[in-house]
Amino acid sequence: MTISPNWRSENKHLQILEAAEKGKYGVIAAIAYNIEQIIGLVDAAKKARSPLILQFFPWAITFGDGILIKTAAEAVRNCDVPISIHLDHAQNEELIKKAMQLPFDSIMVDMSHYEKEENLAKTARLVKLCHERGIATEAEPGRIEGGEDGVMDTEGLEGSKTTPEEAEEFVATGVDALAPAFGNVHGEYGKIGPQLDFARLSQLRKVLNGRVRLALHGTNGFMPELMKQCIAAGMNKINVNRLVLDDYYEHLYATVEKVPHTTLMEQGVQQVVDLTVSWMNICGSAGQA
Ligand SMILES: [Zn+2]
Protein backbone atom coordinates (compact mmCIF):
# COMPACT_ATOMS: atom_id res chain seq x y z
CA MET A 1 0.00 0.00 0.00
CA THR A 2 1.45 3.36 -0.98
CA ILE A 3 0.43 6.36 0.97
CA SER A 4 0.58 9.91 -0.34
CA PRO A 5 3.44 11.92 1.24
CA ASN A 6 0.95 14.65 2.08
CA TRP A 7 -1.53 12.26 3.70
CA ARG A 8 -1.79 14.63 6.65
CA SER A 9 -3.52 17.32 4.62
CA GLU A 10 -5.93 14.69 3.25
CA ASN A 11 -6.78 13.11 6.61
CA LYS A 12 -10.29 14.20 7.61
CA HIS A 13 -9.62 14.03 11.35
CA LEU A 14 -6.57 16.29 11.08
CA GLN A 15 -8.42 18.69 8.78
CA ILE A 16 -11.18 19.00 11.41
CA LEU A 17 -8.71 19.63 14.25
CA GLU A 18 -6.61 22.11 12.23
CA ALA A 19 -9.72 24.14 11.44
CA ALA A 20 -10.71 24.08 15.13
CA GLU A 21 -7.27 25.36 16.16
CA LYS A 22 -7.44 28.17 13.60
CA GLY A 23 -11.04 29.03 14.46
CA LYS A 24 -10.48 28.74 18.25
CA TYR A 25 -13.39 26.40 18.88
CA GLY A 26 -13.71 22.86 20.24
CA VAL A 27 -14.98 19.86 18.28
CA ILE A 28 -17.18 17.37 20.09
CA ALA A 29 -15.69 13.86 19.99
CA ALA A 30 -18.59 11.71 21.14
CA ILE A 31 -18.60 8.04 22.07
CA ALA A 32 -21.39 6.06 20.39
CA TYR A 33 -22.65 2.76 21.82
CA ASN A 34 -25.50 1.96 19.43
CA ILE A 35 -27.16 2.90 16.17
CA GLU A 36 -29.55 5.48 17.63
CA GLN A 37 -26.56 7.35 19.03
CA ILE A 38 -24.67 7.19 15.71
CA ILE A 39 -27.72 8.57 13.87
CA GLY A 40 -28.38 11.19 16.56
CA LEU A 41 -24.78 12.46 16.64
CA VAL A 42 -24.57 12.70 12.83
CA ASP A 43 -27.96 14.43 12.65
CA ALA A 44 -26.83 16.89 15.31
CA ALA A 45 -23.76 17.79 13.22
CA LYS A 46 -25.95 18.35 10.16
CA LYS A 47 -28.50 20.39 12.10
CA ALA A 48 -25.88 22.58 13.81
CA ARG A 49 -23.68 22.80 10.67
CA SER A 50 -20.85 21.60 12.86
CA PRO A 51 -17.83 19.34 12.44
CA LEU A 52 -17.93 16.20 14.60
CA ILE A 53 -15.71 13.32 15.68
CA LEU A 54 -17.47 9.98 16.16
CA GLN A 55 -15.58 7.90 18.71
CA PHE A 56 -15.64 4.29 19.72
CA PHE A 57 -14.13 2.38 22.59
CA PRO A 58 -12.15 -0.74 21.61
CA TRP A 59 -15.19 -2.73 22.72
CA ALA A 60 -16.85 -1.78 19.41
CA ILE A 61 -14.13 -3.59 17.41
CA THR A 62 -15.14 -7.01 18.70
CA PHE A 63 -18.83 -6.35 19.38
CA GLY A 64 -20.70 -7.61 16.29
CA ASP A 65 -17.40 -7.81 14.41
CA GLY A 66 -17.11 -4.00 14.19
CA ILE A 67 -20.61 -3.44 12.76
CA LEU A 68 -21.06 -0.13 14.64
CA ILE A 69 -17.86 1.30 13.19
CA LYS A 70 -18.79 0.19 9.67
CA THR A 71 -22.23 1.70 10.20
CA ALA A 72 -20.67 4.98 11.32
CA ALA A 73 -18.59 5.09 8.13
CA GLU A 74 -21.76 4.52 6.11
CA ALA A 75 -23.60 7.25 8.03
CA VAL A 76 -20.92 9.86 7.32
CA ARG A 77 -20.19 8.83 3.73
CA ASN A 78 -22.51 11.33 2.06
CA CYS A 79 -22.55 13.90 4.82
CA ASP A 80 -22.06 17.54 3.86
CA VAL A 81 -20.42 18.40 7.18
CA PRO A 82 -16.96 17.05 8.13
CA ILE A 83 -17.13 14.01 10.43
CA SER A 84 -14.18 11.76 11.27
CA ILE A 85 -14.11 8.37 13.00
CA HIS A 86 -11.71 7.86 15.91
CA LEU A 87 -10.75 4.94 18.15
CA ASP A 88 -10.43 6.00 21.79
CA HIS A 89 -7.87 4.36 24.12
CA ALA A 90 -6.42 1.53 22.05
CA GLN A 91 -4.22 -0.08 24.69
CA ASN A 92 -2.38 -2.85 22.86
CA GLU A 93 -0.72 -3.54 19.54
CA GLU A 94 -2.97 -6.42 18.53
CA LEU A 95 -6.01 -4.18 18.89
CA ILE A 96 -4.43 -1.39 16.88
CA LYS A 97 -3.69 -3.84 14.06
CA LYS A 98 -7.32 -4.98 14.11
CA ALA A 99 -8.47 -1.35 14.07
CA MET A 100 -6.44 -0.73 10.92
CA GLN A 101 -8.79 -3.09 9.08
CA LEU A 102 -11.71 -0.81 9.99
CA PRO A 103 -12.56 2.67 8.63
CA PHE A 104 -10.84 4.74 11.34
CA ASP A 105 -9.42 8.18 10.45
CA SER A 106 -7.59 8.34 13.77
CA ILE A 107 -6.49 6.05 16.61
CA MET A 108 -5.54 6.87 20.18
CA VAL A 109 -2.38 4.91 20.90
CA ASP A 110 -2.73 4.73 24.68
CA MET A 111 0.29 3.09 26.27
CA SER A 112 -0.07 5.12 29.47
CA HIS A 113 -0.42 1.92 31.54
CA TYR A 114 3.26 1.22 30.86
CA GLU A 115 6.15 2.95 32.60
CA LYS A 116 7.38 5.98 30.70
CA GLU A 117 10.30 4.57 28.71
CA GLU A 118 8.27 1.65 27.43
CA ASN A 119 5.27 3.88 26.86
CA LEU A 120 7.33 6.22 24.65
CA ALA A 121 8.99 3.39 22.69
CA LYS A 122 5.70 1.60 22.01
CA THR A 123 3.94 4.85 21.15
CA ALA A 124 6.59 5.81 18.60
CA ARG A 125 6.44 2.42 16.90
CA LEU A 126 2.63 2.29 16.75
CA VAL A 127 2.30 5.91 15.64
CA LYS A 128 4.56 5.07 12.69
CA LEU A 129 2.46 2.01 11.86
CA CYS A 130 -0.70 4.16 11.81
CA HIS A 131 0.88 6.94 9.77
CA GLU A 132 2.03 4.45 7.14
CA ARG A 133 -1.65 3.77 6.59
CA GLY A 134 -2.73 7.41 6.57
CA ILE A 135 -4.28 7.19 10.04
CA ALA A 136 -3.84 10.08 12.49
CA THR A 137 -2.86 9.40 16.13
CA GLU A 138 -3.39 10.64 19.66
CA ALA A 139 -1.52 9.79 22.86
CA GLU A 140 -1.69 10.50 26.57
CA PRO A 141 1.47 11.86 28.19
CA GLY A 142 1.30 11.66 31.95
CA ARG A 143 -1.57 9.59 33.26
CA ILE A 144 -5.24 10.52 33.46
CA GLU A 145 -6.88 8.90 36.51
CA GLY A 146 -9.77 6.47 36.28
CA GLY A 147 -11.22 4.10 33.70
CA GLU A 148 -14.42 3.74 31.71
CA ASP A 149 -16.32 1.09 29.74
CA GLY A 150 -13.63 -1.47 29.06
CA VAL A 151 -10.77 1.04 29.12
CA MET A 152 -8.20 -0.25 31.57
CA ASP A 153 -8.03 1.63 34.84
CA THR A 154 -4.58 2.78 35.84
CA GLU A 155 -4.65 0.17 38.63
CA GLY A 156 -1.88 0.59 41.12
CA LEU A 157 -0.38 3.30 38.96
CA GLU A 158 -1.00 6.77 40.22
CA GLY A 159 -2.35 9.38 37.90
CA SER A 160 0.23 12.07 37.20
CA LYS A 161 0.00 15.46 35.58
CA THR A 162 1.78 15.90 32.26
CA THR A 163 5.07 17.75 32.55
CA PRO A 164 6.54 19.97 29.78
CA GLU A 165 9.38 17.41 29.41
CA GLU A 166 6.87 14.61 28.82
CA ALA A 167 4.98 16.73 26.32
CA GLU A 168 8.25 17.21 24.37
CA GLU A 169 9.04 13.50 24.51
CA PHE A 170 5.64 12.66 23.07
CA VAL A 171 5.88 15.22 20.30
CA ALA A 172 9.10 13.43 19.34
CA THR A 173 7.13 10.19 18.77
CA GLY A 174 5.42 11.90 15.83
CA VAL A 175 1.96 11.79 17.40
CA ASP A 176 -0.62 14.25 16.03
CA ALA A 177 -2.67 15.00 19.15
CA LEU A 178 -1.98 14.89 22.87
CA ALA A 179 -4.41 14.35 25.75
CA PRO A 180 -2.71 16.10 28.68
CA ALA A 181 -3.35 15.09 32.29
CA PHE A 182 -3.96 18.31 34.24
CA GLY A 183 -6.32 17.16 36.96
CA ASN A 184 -8.93 15.69 34.60
CA VAL A 185 -10.38 12.27 35.43
CA HIS A 186 -11.95 9.45 33.38
CA GLY A 187 -15.40 8.55 34.67
CA GLU A 188 -17.01 10.53 37.49
CA TYR A 189 -15.53 13.44 39.47
CA GLY A 190 -17.39 12.85 42.71
CA LYS A 191 -18.69 15.47 45.11
CA ILE A 192 -15.87 17.96 44.91
CA GLY A 193 -16.13 18.31 41.12
CA PRO A 194 -13.34 18.86 38.57
CA GLN A 195 -10.17 20.54 39.95
CA LEU A 196 -8.31 21.45 36.79
CA ASP A 197 -4.78 22.88 36.74
CA PHE A 198 -5.06 25.63 34.14
CA ALA A 199 -1.59 26.94 34.97
CA ARG A 200 -0.16 23.58 33.92
CA LEU A 201 -2.28 23.53 30.78
CA SER A 202 -1.12 26.96 29.71
CA GLN A 203 2.51 26.00 30.40
CA LEU A 204 2.09 22.90 28.18
CA ARG A 205 0.44 24.90 25.43
CA LYS A 206 3.34 27.34 25.43
CA VAL A 207 5.89 24.52 25.18
CA LEU A 208 3.96 22.70 22.44
CA ASN A 209 3.59 25.91 20.46
CA GLY A 210 1.00 24.59 18.01
CA ARG A 211 2.96 21.49 16.97
CA VAL A 212 0.18 19.09 18.01
CA ARG A 213 -3.54 19.39 18.63
CA LEU A 214 -4.86 19.08 22.19
CA ALA A 215 -7.55 16.60 23.28
CA LEU A 216 -9.60 17.04 26.45
CA HIS A 217 -10.46 13.77 28.21
CA GLY A 218 -12.74 13.31 31.23
CA THR A 219 -15.63 15.76 30.78
CA ASN A 220 -18.47 13.97 32.60
CA GLY A 221 -20.43 16.52 34.63
CA PHE A 222 -18.70 19.57 33.11
CA MET A 223 -20.63 22.85 33.25
CA PRO A 224 -20.68 25.03 30.09
CA GLU A 225 -18.41 27.68 31.66
CA LEU A 226 -15.70 25.15 32.50
CA MET A 227 -15.90 23.74 28.98
CA LYS A 228 -15.48 27.20 27.48
CA GLN A 229 -12.51 27.83 29.75
CA CYS A 230 -10.84 24.61 28.50
CA ILE A 231 -11.41 25.59 24.87
CA ALA A 232 -10.06 29.10 25.49
CA ALA A 233 -6.99 27.38 27.00
CA GLY A 234 -6.38 25.59 23.68
CA MET A 235 -8.35 22.33 23.71
CA ASN A 236 -9.32 21.35 20.14
CA LYS A 237 -10.86 17.89 20.55
CA ILE A 238 -13.48 17.59 23.26
CA ASN A 239 -14.07 13.98 24.31
CA VAL A 240 -17.59 13.55 25.64
CA ASN A 241 -19.52 10.58 26.85
CA ARG A 242 -22.40 11.17 29.28
CA LEU A 243 -22.45 14.89 28.50
CA VAL A 244 -24.35 14.25 25.24
CA LEU A 245 -25.96 10.90 26.17
CA ASP A 246 -27.54 11.57 29.59
CA ASP A 247 -30.92 12.63 28.14
CA TYR A 248 -30.96 9.58 25.86
CA TYR A 249 -30.62 7.19 28.83
CA GLU A 250 -33.05 9.13 30.99
CA HIS A 251 -35.64 8.93 28.21
CA LEU A 252 -34.90 5.24 27.63
CA TYR A 253 -35.41 4.25 31.27
CA ALA A 254 -38.54 6.37 31.64
CA THR A 255 -40.20 5.29 28.40
CA VAL A 256 -39.13 1.72 27.61
CA GLU A 257 -42.41 0.12 28.71
CA LYS A 258 -44.68 2.88 27.42
CA VAL A 259 -44.17 3.14 23.65
CA PRO A 260 -43.46 0.76 20.74
CA HIS A 261 -39.77 -0.04 20.24
CA THR A 262 -39.60 1.90 16.96
CA THR A 263 -40.98 5.01 18.68
CA LEU A 264 -38.51 4.52 21.55
CA MET A 265 -35.65 4.48 19.05
CA GLU A 266 -36.86 7.54 17.13
CA GLN A 267 -37.40 9.55 20.30
CA GLY A 268 -34.00 8.38 21.57
CA VAL A 269 -32.31 9.73 18.42
CA GLN A 270 -34.01 13.09 19.02
CA GLN A 271 -32.71 13.21 22.61
CA VAL A 272 -29.15 12.73 21.31
CA VAL A 273 -29.64 15.40 18.61
CA ASP A 274 -30.97 18.05 21.01
CA LEU A 275 -28.33 17.62 23.72
CA THR A 276 -25.46 17.35 21.21
CA VAL A 277 -26.55 20.50 19.35
CA SER A 278 -26.58 22.41 22.64
CA TRP A 279 -22.97 21.34 23.36
CA MET A 280 -21.90 22.19 19.80
CA ASN A 281 -23.18 25.70 20.50
CA ILE A 282 -21.29 25.86 23.80
CA CYS A 283 -18.06 24.61 22.16
CA GLY A 284 -18.37 27.15 19.34
CA SER A 285 -18.33 24.57 16.54
CA ALA A 286 -21.95 25.19 15.47
CA GLY A 287 -22.05 27.06 12.17
CA GLN A 288 -18.39 26.27 11.38
CA ALA A 289 -19.12 23.56 8.77
ZN1 LIG B 1 -9.84 9.22 27.66
Contacts of 58 (CB under 8 A, 6+ apart): 87, 88, 89, 90, 91, 95, 99, 150, 151
Residue 113 confidence (pLDDT): 87
Active site residue 88: yes
DSSP states of 71-125: HHHHHHHT-SS-EEEEEEEE-SHHHHHHHTTS--SEEEE--TTS-HHHHHHHHHH
Q: State pLDDT tens for residues 190-226.
A: 888 899 999 999 999 999 999 999 999 999 999 999 9
Residue 150 confidence (pLDDT): 64
Beta 237-240 vs 177-178: how paired, if at all?
A: unpaired
CA distance 107 to 204: 22
Q: Which domains does the chain have, with CATH numbers?
A: 7-283 (3.20.20.70)
Residue 143 confidence (pLDDT): 83
221 CA distance to ligand 1 centroid (A)?
15
63 CA distance to ligand 1 centroid (A)?
20
- The mean pLDDT value for 119-131 works out to 97
Binding site: which residues?
A: 89, 110, 140, 186, 217
Residue 229's SS3 state is helix
Q: State pLDDT tens for residues 15-70.
A: 999 999 999 999 999 999 999 999 999 999 999 999 999 999 999 999 999 999 99
165 CA distance to ligand 1 centroid (A)?
21
Catalytic residue, chosen from 43, 65, 88, 274, is 88
Residue 169 confidence (pLDDT): 96
Residue 160 confidence (pLDDT): 84
Binding site for Zn(2+): which residues?
A: 89, 110, 140, 186, 217
- The mean pLDDT value for 120-149 works out to 91
Residue 272 in this model has a pLDDT that exceeds 80: yes
Quickly state the pLDDT bin for 158 (edges 50, 70, 90).
low
Q: Which of 98-102, 147-151, 185-189, 253-257 has the lowest mean pLDDT?
A: 147-151
Q: State pLDDT tens for residues 47-61.
A: 999 999 999 999 999
Quickly state the pLDDT bin for 155 (edges 50, 70, 90).
very low
189 CA distance to ligand 1 centroid (A)?
14
